[in-house]
Amino acid sequence: MTDLPRTLVLPPRLTASARKLRDTAVRRGLRVVESGAASVGLSVPESPKPNPAHTRQGEGAVHLHAGPSFADAVAPALGIALLEAPADWLARLPYTFTRREIRAMPIGEAHRLRRPAFIKSPNDKSIPALVYADGSRLPGPDAVDPRTVVLVSDVLAFTAEYRLHVLDGAVHTASQYASGGRLRLGPAAPGALAFARDLLAAAAATLPSAIVVDVGVDDEGRWAVVEANAAWGSGCYDADPDRALDTVLRSAGPVGELAPPDHDFIRRRP
């Protein structure tokens, strides 16, 4: 029997980065679906039970690259495990890797802040990532459950920022994506890669096997982690698209293909 090709599911509207990954997937022989699962004839069992024999051989395995809303709607029905960093991962890093105080707290507690802070959602964009003058500027309880966890950090300005696609505890590919707070694409600086080696030597075990980590440097030349993002929902910018795709496929693939340590990093549907 001929092995079925792997499938990469994409949302209907693609960013430039997603189109780059799509074209790379097609060149590599993957089947690409640009729509919701139900409308394209993919097998959608009510309770996915991946066949271990198939997932080991890659027969018809389904992967995904999309934003959180689309991924949360589609992945469970297709038996896809979405990997992401723990919500408090950034807050638990040592200061030497963050260069700022960061706390994970319920947004209800953050409402009581009376100082400027950079506040964001840990693993999606439900709370806009902004510098808030104080906690009263955050969405209120009528819009967001007060128990929703947010990351609250001191304000740190980066002169340049870099995206690292991390696979199996090492940088698989990387690129610059910002300079002075504005989009600017380019190769990864040697300093970013050196900082990443130190970071991953200390913290790789606290991350899934496939993840995106953004790092930056301030005007004093100090390197710090900006944030961690799910590879399945992240742009690849100027990174090698083949290697970025490797990371995406691992980050959102069949449950049956997961290595045991990655089970601790499966995204739980909000």
* 239-269: pLDDT as tens digits: 999 999 999 999 999 999 999 999 999 998 7
Q: What percent of the chain has pLDDT over 90?
A: 85
Mean of the per-residue pLDDT values for the chain?
Answer: 90
CB 256 within 8 A of CB 119: no
Q: What is the pLDDT of residues 96-154, one digit of tens each?
A: 999 999 999 999 999 999 999 999 999 887 898 999 999 999 999 999 999 999 999 99
- Would the pLDDT of 50 be above 80? no
Record the pTM. Answer: 0.88
| Residue 1 banded pLDDT, cuts 50, 70, 90 | very low
Three-state SS string across 50-86, please?
A: CCHHHHHHCCCCEEECCCHHHHHHHCHHHCEEEECCC
CB 216 within 8 A of CB 162: yes
Residue 42 pLDDT: 55
Residue 78 pLDDT: 95
